[in-house]
Amino acid sequence: MVKQVRIVDAVLCDRDGTLVEDVPYNGDPARVVPRPGVRTGLDRLRAAGLRVGVISNQSGVARGLLTADEVEAVNGRMGDLLGPFDAVLWCPHGPEDGCGCRKPAPGMVTGAARALGVSPVRCVVIGDIGSDVQAAARAGAAAVLVPTGVTRPEEVAAAPLVAADFGAAVDMVLRAHRPLAGSDIDGGRP
């Protein structure tokens, strides 16, 4: 059996490095640049009736490198360029804060699922690093890793599903959303 994501109702995407180019601690909306193929992929997900959300660590707020207003401005520009999102959650904490929302903790995945009115087990997280995959697993969601130049080889090796690019990740999700046969779905689980 070819491993696929299970049937889904919502897709939760990491922001930096997945949806838009990763500009560390970006507080400037003018520096928001969509990654190749992302707008088309998101439009395909929306056209299929899937809810689409964003989950993003923003430790620059805790570090004093940007403000919450700047994060919101960047998120607004991302929405202008990539279309509307049904939920946008971001964590302002630093790695040492021990919060339950910062990926790899599951808080943003479960919070986004709750905001979208779906179960985390009916969500897929698309991200570019291991903490995205780990947050999904801890919440009971599926995950697709889309490696970039910052993705470590061990993160790729540990990921249950890896896609060459965002469009390929969307293909995996849409195959699960409209299954042709029960055996095409991850273990046939709902």
Catalytic positions, please?
Answer: 14, 16
- Residue 171: Cβ within 10 Å count: 16
Query: Which sign does the torsion angle of CA 34, 36, 39, 44 carry?
Result: negative
Residues sharing a CB contact under 8 Å with residue 3, sequence separation 6 or more, in sequence order: 160, 161, 186
Token pair listed for 174: 């849409």
Chain center to CA of 189:
22
**CA-closest candidate to residue 141, choices 115, 119, 120:** 120
Token pair listed for 141: 């969601």
Plot region of 91 (φ>0 → left; ψ -120 to 50 → alpha; else → beta) = beta
Per-residue CA distances from 75 to 28, 48, 84, 173, 177 (Å): 10, 23, 10, 24, 27
Q: Is the peptide bond before 104 cis (omega within 30 degrees of 0)?
A: yes
